[in-house]
Amino acid sequence: MLTLYHSGLSTCSKQVRLCLKEKGVAYESRYIELWNYENLNPEYLKLNPNGVVPTLVHDGVPLINALAINEYIDDAWPEPPLKPADPKERAKMRLWTWTADDIHTAVMLATFKALLTDALKGLTEDDIEAMIKAIPVPDRRERWRKFTKGGFSDEEMMAAEAKMSHGMERVEAALDGKDWLAGDMFSLAEISMIAIVNRVKEIRPSMVDDVTFPNTNAWRERIMARPTAPEIFFSGTPETPPRPKVKSISGLTRDLKIAS
User: DSSP string of 70-114?
Assistant: HHHHHHHS-SS--S-SSHHHHHHHHHHHHHHHHHHHHHHHHHIII
Residue 163 interacts with a second copy (CB under 8 A): yes or no: yes
Residue 246 interacts with a second copy (CB under 8 A): yes or no: no
Nearer to a second copy, 126 or 139 (CB): 139
Residue 94 interacts with a second copy (CB under 8 A): yes or no: yes
CA distance 2 to 73: 11
Cα dihedral 207→208→211→213 (10° resolution): 120
Nearer to a second copy, 87 or 238 (CB): 87
Q: How far is CA 30 from CA 15, 19, 168, 258, in A?
A: 16, 16, 32, 9
**Which of 2, 25, 31, 90 is close enough to bind a second copy by CB under 8 A?**
90
Q: What is the DSSP letter of 204?
A: -
Instruction: With contacts defined by CB under 8 A, name the span among 13-21, 157-165, 231-239, 243-251 that binds a second copy.
Output: 157-165
**Which of 162, 184, 221, 253 is close enough to bind a second copy by CB under 8 A?**
162
Nearer to a second copy, 46 or 166 (CB): 166
Site string for a second copy, 96-135 (x = CB under 8 A): --x--x----x-----------------------------
Q: What share of the chain is helix, strand, coil (3-state, %, to 5)?
A: 60, 5, 35
**Adjacent-strand bridge partners of 29:** 4
CB of 196 to a second copy, least distance (A): 15
Rg (CA), the chain: 18
Instruction: With contacts defined by CB under 8 A, name the span among 33-41, 86-94, 114-122, 209-217 that binds a second copy.
Output: 86-94
CA distance 97 to 193: 7
Residue 218 interacts with a second copy (CB under 8 A): yes or no: no
Contact 249, 37 (CB under 8 A): yes
Q: Which residues of this protein are in contact with a second copy, per CB under 8 A?
A: 58, 61, 63-65, 67-69, 71-72, 75-76, 87-88, 90-92, 94-95, 98, 101, 106, 137-139, 142, 159, 162-163, 165-166
